[in-house]
Structure 1
Amino acid sequence: MDYSEVARSIVKAVGGKQNIRSLTHCVTRLRFYLKDEQKASDTAVKDIDGVLGVNHQSGQYQIIIGNGVGTYYDNIMALGGIQAANADTTSDAAEDETKGHTNLFDTFANFISSCMSPLIPALIGGGMMKVIVILLPLIHVLSTNSQTYKILAIFGDAPFYFLPVMLAFTAANYFKVSQILAVVIAGIMIHPDFLAMVNAAKPVHFIGIPVTLFNYSSSVIPILMVVWAMKYIEKGLKRVIPNSIKSIALPLLEIFIMGFLALIVIGPIGSFAGKGLSAAILFIQSKVGWLAMSLMAAFMPLIVMTGMHWAFAPIFLAASVATPDSLILPAMLAANVAQGAASLAVAIRTKNEKTRQVAGAASISALLAGVTEPSLYGVTLKYRRPLYASMIAGGITGLFMGIVHLKAFAFAVPSFVALPQFMSNGQTQNFMFALIALVMSFVMSFVLTLVLGWDDGPETTSVPKQKSNLATNEPALALADDTGSNGTVTESETDSDTVSSGVRTTKRIYSPVQGELITMASIPDDTFAKGMLGKGCGIIPEDNHFYAPFDGTVETVFPTKHAIGLKSKTGIELLIHIGLDTVDLKGKPFTAHVSQGDHVKQGQLLMDADLKAIKAAGYDITTPLVVTNSKDFVEVTTSDKTQVSTQDPVLYII
């Protein structure tokens, strides 16, 4: 796959660089902040290779990719002219908030998601390290008294202990205030000397005002509230401080004022809010924990679908600082395993080779890594009934987990690999409950998926390469009638144009030139990309010679020779447009070898094009192949290949 080309296609599909305010990404999706989402084409984006789906959420245009999202992000940023969402002068989302462009919930969700998304790799890495620290003593590899164990524990604890510092940085980016000063304020809140005062539990006063003693390490809500207030304090200070002393006075006053507010006013309010949230969650779990867990596990795929699972993460982190998590992480265990099992069932039972490949990879991602977007967008949501099966399995498993009060002792994305997060000294029963929940969710989802079934289209097999007779100048098989009683694609050894009644017939169009095959949506021209002229594909040619893709008639040779119209013996009308906007070259780089009305055989030379001259003149050599009478057929699909020769089918016409 040419990721640079895919990156250009994505940028074009979302409205071009000029429509992109900024871009960031999380574990599985690209998160665009667009100036106008109406300019983005969901259909065009979904047609791009590697894209699993699109979601509009909280002011973000989210493109779901899966585990390889980092590669897509890097290639998009390499195009230049696009701002990263975590840079100083990025996202105008906070400005939109003040202007009332989004509702209150979207504003809150956007803020939390923007601050939390960049932290996810650190939290996942730290969480998995904590899982290892739990596991090693249990299997008698390390003693809890060893220095190695203690250092590994530091590795795992660091991302969580310094969570206020990291959140200070990302929140400062969001609100466009000084990141360094925000980090300093977070440092004040978790300074060792201040924590020593907290641990001493003796009254503390600052300029005569009593200080409420809280341990802010690993906290979430207090620092977010502090940086939100900092936005207004910093703006006010910039207005009143004379420019002549601003470089000295601004940081001095900002540290003093924000430090005072953090320890005396805002920090305590945030801590009380976190404790209140924790108490509310614990109350719900103590009264109707079985119901809360069941609902959370059942609807987790829908939460993931909206991208809100990471936006909720800091809330549940705040609620579970002092106690193990007995809601979100157990619910994710049931949901993640159910998604993986449903995808595995589809992979095993399907007769569609492409579906098997997608579902197989998605099941591995969900079961081993806990990343369910590939499963959700590539399989379960796509075929609906596997999604219902996984939600039912998750809900029933959640009911069991709620009854037994399953707890997670480390923050890691639940999966087979991260299962030790449910281990704890003295609570072996908890781990057994986790194993039971895993098996329940897997078995129920797998069986229910097979029982409910799905419809992923007819059986497909790899299409053999065309048998070339070009050396003997005999006509090669061009448009074989691939007829099957159930609409399947099979290989035919004749070039008959007969179509049996009531049976689907598949025709092949071969590549007219050697090169790279791309989807129609990837063609950098709206007329072709949006299918205005018909369905088809594009080829980036690597050879100057263009050949007939089937047996037929030359309907048109344009006077400028940049395009040829053909009609097959079976009625397919095909436009071969060599390059984009090459009509302006007035025929100079082209040499036609056929004329209007000529009958041609597949493999016969149609046109020579000087690709170097075309590129030197500043034109794109991408060559669209358009079935201009697409509406006359049931479907026009593109081959999965990326590199093609004149012996490879590129389009299938049903």
Structure 2
Amino acid sequence: MKYTELTQQIIHHVGGEKNVISLVHCATRLRFKLRDINKANAEELKKIPGIITVVESGGQFQVVIGNHVAEVFDTIMQTAQFTQHPEDHNEGETSPKTNWLNRFIDIISGIFTPILGIMAGSGVLKGLLALCVAFHLLDMTSGTYRILNATADGFFYFLPIFLAYTAAKKFDANPFLTMAVAAALVYPSIQEKVNAITVATLTQQPLPATETFIFIPISFMSYAYSVIPVIFSSWLIAILQRFFNRIFHSSFRNIVTPMCCLVIVVPLTFMLIGPVTLFLSDLLSQGYQWLYQMNPIIAGIIVGGGWQILVIFGLHWSFIPVMINNLNPHMLGKDLMIPMLVPTVAGQIGAALAVAIKSKDKIQRNIGFSSVFTGIFGITEPAVYGVNLPNRRPFVIGCIAGAIGAAIVGFYGTAVYSMGLASIFTIAQTIPPTGFDMTIWGLILGIIVALIIGFIGTLIFFKPKATESQCQSELSSQKSLTPVPATISKTIQLSSPMQGNVVALTAVNDMTFASELMGKGVAIIPTRGEVVAPADAKIISLFKTKHAIGLLTENNIEILIHIGIDTVKLDGQYFTAHVEPDQQVKRGQKLISFDLEAIKQAGFEVSTPIIITNTDDFIDIIPTDATLVELGDPLLTVTQ
């Protein structure tokens, strides 16, 4: 229960328990489905220690936690009480983002997320078994191999039953009812019939007699390892279950409803849903194979370069069924996409490692080094959200490195033969049944190249951002450039460099400014993205991030205009400077323009402190009494 305080804060900032429709988790994220997304406060959540970032995608409100997400999830489920409302059964109607893509991704992630861990674990075990066979450590005819192979392959063989359970949870159906349908699909006598047809086809013998269901011919197919048929049948079960529960009396619906659902859905699946969905699955596999064979190098560049972008928006879930479908022995029996994803992980790891080494920020260094470790095991969110994406350039370099590495993997035609996360363990999963070949070395080469390019590219092109304290220290070092004689008392009026609402400096959400350690002044919440000179002056400092500018007036008044709070992190994005250091400017001359709305949408406060940094050189500094100022209006009166 060590995460109790964290979970309480999370629940509070997602709008409380009553705002939560459902909650699941994947390898690093809590995935909330909320009744009202507007009640959630993403910016406050991002500030909480223990939370990497927050993503709104696929109709879900995703809180990225990291490797300990399972413990946080368990704590939430033990302490929170989520209530179901009747309207929650209407998928997506309570969310403002209910387009078909969001709903599709929400459904797919909801079905596959609960089994992703066991799926990855079973896939890795299959890869390790292949490694043992390749090194002659195990004989495929031995009892040890048979038991371990059954342990690893059993999950995939009976995958329809596992998917029936998670699909029922997603569609709000009776999970045991959907599992009964899935069990019928993989029933031994059905599989025996499929095997007999397969053997007859391969040996060119007469096919077994066609069987019928109430005079309707049945096309027997293997549903072991299948994905799509059971999802459609579970969806149909959910619809029929609600229909029959409405029309049958409560005294016998618990018996009659399951019977009616099974009698309708199981035959319908064998005769229509199964054949149609397996045919579509086959077309999907053939289409994917056709695109790959056209040019595997270009396919690698596209997949490797774009995968982490899909991960950011949660769109990668839409490819999970495709990968599993490819691995079905009755389809391709292997997948060519998963190996391409490993270099994308390596590229982000290399970039994060370079940032950690080069960064001067202690917190970012710690996050960088720890994210490298988690990335080795296929978890890239800490590296992407915590290190590379906030700095932008390392993320782009990591994507380029991943594209190059994936192109190499595509060139060698590397494939995996079991499902799992793209990680260091994927190497074992690429061992073909025939033993070691160049496809394995192609993957290793792609990983190494992506890692090196991501690391060296980031070392060369990434420049660590200055922290806010460094900015303030640089400004402070520029104080007292010219001694000011105080022999004659006079007042100087500085005009407003911005248009907006005037607030007291003490109200600014930054203790350095609010405590007036930097000097006295005032703050403006701008309504227009433009800064002009408050007096005739000389530009004495202009930060490369363009978020702050320092001026020295003809009366030796040193002025700091700091646009927004913590906007140094934007690294100059949304800011445009119209002057240069040491340039003389006139009152009202444009200094900086900025995209006000974009800065707000990026999650930054736009309160702009306007400070006299050499306050001690003057008798008094008096702000205006006005609450709203236009460009050029009186703002500060300095008594000299």
TM value normalised by structure 2: 0.71
Residue 267 of structure 2: aligned partner: 260
Per the alignment, do residues 280 and 97 of structure 1 end up closer, same or farther by CA in structure 2, a change over 3 Å counting? farther
- Superposed, 1:282-321 pairs within 5 Å as 282-321=289-328
Aligned equivalents of 1:189, 1:373: Cα separation in 2: 37
Residue 417 of structure 1: aligned partner: 425
Preserved contact between residue 186 and residue 223 of structure 2 (Cα < 8 Å): yes
Residue 236 of structure 1: aligned partner: 243
Per the alignment, do residues 200 and 97 of structure 1 end up closer, same or farther by CA in structure 2, a change over 3 Å counting? farther
Aligned equivalents of 1:213, 1:56: Cα separation in 2: 43
Residue 513 of structure 1: aligned partner: none
Q: Residue 269 of structure 1: which of 276, 279, 285 is its match?
A: 276
Does residue 395 in structure 1 map to residue 369 in structure 2?
no
Cα-Cα RMSD: 3.1
Preserved contact between residue 412 and residue 438 of structure 2 (Cα < 8 Å): no
- Superposed, 1:430-469 pairs within 5 Å as 430-458=439-467
Q: Residue 148 of structure 2: which of 127, 152, 156 is its match?
A: 152
Residue 579 of structure 1: aligned partner: none
Per the alignment, do residues 139 and 633 of structure 1 end up closer, same or farther by CA in structure 2, a change over 3 Å counting? farther
> 1:325: Cα distance to partner?
4.0
Aligned equivalents of 1:487, 1:260: Cα separation in 2: 73
Preserved contact between residue 404 and residue 446 of structure 2 (Cα < 8 Å): no
> 1:99: Cα distance to partner?
10
Please give the secondary structure, in 2, of the residue aligned with 1:95. coil
Aligned equivalents of 2:515, 2:441: Cα separation in 1: 67
Does residue 372 in structure 1 map to residue 380 in structure 2?
yes
Residue 111 of structure 1: aligned partner: 107
Preserved contact between residue 55 and residue 62 of structure 1 (Cα < 8 Å): yes
Preserved contact between residue 30 and residue 63 of structure 2 (Cα < 8 Å): yes
Please give the secondary structure, in 1, of the residue aligned with 2:56. strand
Residue 509 of structure 2: aligned partner: 535
Preserved contact between residue 506 and residue 516 of structure 2 (Cα < 8 Å): no
Q: Deviations over 1:499-550 (max 9, x none)?
A: 54259xxxxxxxxxxxxxxxxxxxxxxxxxxx9965379xxxxxxxxxxxx9
Preserved contact between residue 327 and residue 419 of structure 2 (Cα < 8 Å): no
Please give the secondary structure, in 2, of the residue aligned with 1:54. strand
Residue 617 of structure 1: aligned partner: none
> 1:427: Cα distance to partner?
4.5
Per the alignment, do residues 427 and 94 of structure 1 end up closer, same or farther by CA in structure 2, a change over 3 Å counting? farther
Unaligned runs of 5+ in 1: 460-481, 490-497, 504-530, 538-549, 551-565, 574-628, 635-654
Per the alignment, do residues 392 and 240 of structure 1 end up closer, same or farther by CA in structure 2, a change over 3 Å counting? same
Aligned equivalents of 2:176, 2:517: Cα separation in 1: 71
Please give the secondary structure, in 1, of the residue aligned with 2:63. strand
Preserved contact between residue 506 and residue 515 of structure 2 (Cα < 8 Å): no
> 1:410: Cα distance to partner?
2.1
Query: Which deviates more from structure 2 when the two are superposed, residues 343-352 or residues 61-70?
Result: 343-352
- Superposed, 1:540-619 pairs within 5 Å as none
The amino acid that maps onto 1:306 is F
Aligned equivalents of 2:102, 2:24: Cα separation in 1: 18
Preserved contact between residue 130 and residue 431 of structure 2 (Cα < 8 Å): yes
Aligned equivalents of 2:66, 2:86: Cα separation in 1: 25
Aligned equivalents of 1:179, 1:35: Cα separation in 2: 24
Q: Deviations over 1:327-371 (max 9, x none)?
A: 32022111111111111111222232211110001111112x011
Preserved contact between residue 164 and residue 223 of structure 1 (Cα < 8 Å): yes
Residue 8 of structure 2: aligned partner: 8
The amino acid that maps onto 2:44 is A
Residue 640 of structure 1: aligned partner: none
Q: Residue 141 of structure 1: which of 130, 137, 140 is its match?
A: 137
Aligned equivalents of 1:402, 1:106: Cα separation in 2: 30
Preserved contact between residue 94 and residue 174 of structure 1 (Cα < 8 Å): no
Residue 26 of structure 1: aligned partner: 26
Please give the secondary structure, in 2, of the residue aligned with 1:285. helix
Q: Residue 200 of structure 1: which of 180, 186, 196 is its match?
A: 196
Preserved contact between residue 89 and residue 176 of structure 1 (Cα < 8 Å): no
Please give the secondary structure, in 2, of the residue aligned with 1:376. helix
Please give the secondary structure, in 2, of the residue aligned with 1:96. coil
Residue 501 of structure 1: aligned partner: 478
Preserved contact between residue 142 and residue 149 of structure 1 (Cα < 8 Å): yes
Does residue 188 in structure 1 map to residue 184 in structure 2?
yes
Residue 56 of structure 1: aligned partner: 56
The amino acid that maps onto 2:448 is V
Aligned equivalents of 1:148, 1:187: Cα separation in 2: 27
Residue 215 of structure 1: aligned partner: 222
Q: Deviations over 1:128-186 (max 9, x none)?
A: 11122112222333222221111111111122112111111111112111111100000
Residue 92 of structure 1: aligned partner: 88
Q: Residue 157 of structure 2: which of 161, 164, 171 is its match?
A: 161
Aligned equivalents of 2:22, 2:405: Cα separation in 1: 40
> 1:247: Cα distance to partner?
2.9
Aligned equivalents of 2:276, 2:93: Cα separation in 1: 23
Aligned equivalents of 2:472, 2:245: Cα separation in 1: 71
Please give the secondary structure, in 1, of the residue aligned with 2:350. helix
Aligned equivalents of 1:366, 1:154: Cα separation in 2: 29
Please give the secondary structure, in 2, of the residue aligned with 1:121. helix
> 1:404: Cα distance to partner?
2.2
Per the alignment, do residues 93 and 239 of structure 1 end up closer, same or farther by CA in structure 2, a change over 3 Å counting? closer
Unaligned runs of 5+ in 2: 198-207, 481-504, 522-606, 613-640
Residue 77 of structure 2: aligned partner: 77
Per the alignment, do residues 297 and 93 of structure 1 end up closer, same or farther by CA in structure 2, a change over 3 Å counting? farther
Residue 333 of structure 1: aligned partner: 342
- Superposed, 1:451-490 pairs within 5 Å as 451-458=460-467
Preserved contact between residue 324 and residue 407 of structure 1 (Cα < 8 Å): no
Per the alignment, do residues 245 and 99 of structure 1 end up closer, same or farther by CA in structure 2, a change over 3 Å counting? farther
Preserved contact between residue 389 and residue 448 of structure 1 (Cα < 8 Å): yes
Preserved contact between residue 348 and residue 356 of structure 1 (Cα < 8 Å): yes
User: 4+ residue stretches of structure 1 with deviation over 4 A?
Assistant: 88-91, 97-101, 486-489, 531-534, 566-573, 629-634
Aligned equivalents of 2:149, 2:263: Cα separation in 1: 34
> 1:243: Cα distance to partner?
4.0
Please give the secondary structure, in 2, of the residue aligned with 1:377. helix
Per the alignment, do residues 384 and 502 of structure 1 end up closer, same or farther by CA in structure 2, a change over 3 Å counting? farther
Residue 35 of structure 2: aligned partner: 35
> 1:290: Cα distance to partner?
2.3
Aligned equivalents of 2:335, 2:230: Cα separation in 1: 24
Per the alignment, do residues 92 and 319 of structure 1 end up closer, same or farther by CA in structure 2, a change over 3 Å counting? farther
> 1:241: Cα distance to partner?
3.3
Matched positions, count: 488
Please give the secondary structure, in 1, of the residue aligned with 2:23. strand
Preserved contact between residue 383 and residue 454 of structure 1 (Cα < 8 Å): no
Per the alignment, do residues 286 and 147 of structure 1 end up closer, same or farther by CA in structure 2, a change over 3 Å counting? same
The amino acid that maps onto 2:299 is A
Aligned equivalents of 2:356, 2:15: Cα separation in 1: 36
Q: Deviations over 1:170-224 (max 9, x none)?
A: 1111211111110000000011111011111132322332111111111111111
Per the alignment, do residues 311 and 158 of structure 1 end up closer, same or farther by CA in structure 2, a change over 3 Å counting? farther
Residue 615 of structure 1: aligned partner: none
Preserved contact between residue 23 and residue 82 of structure 1 (Cα < 8 Å): no
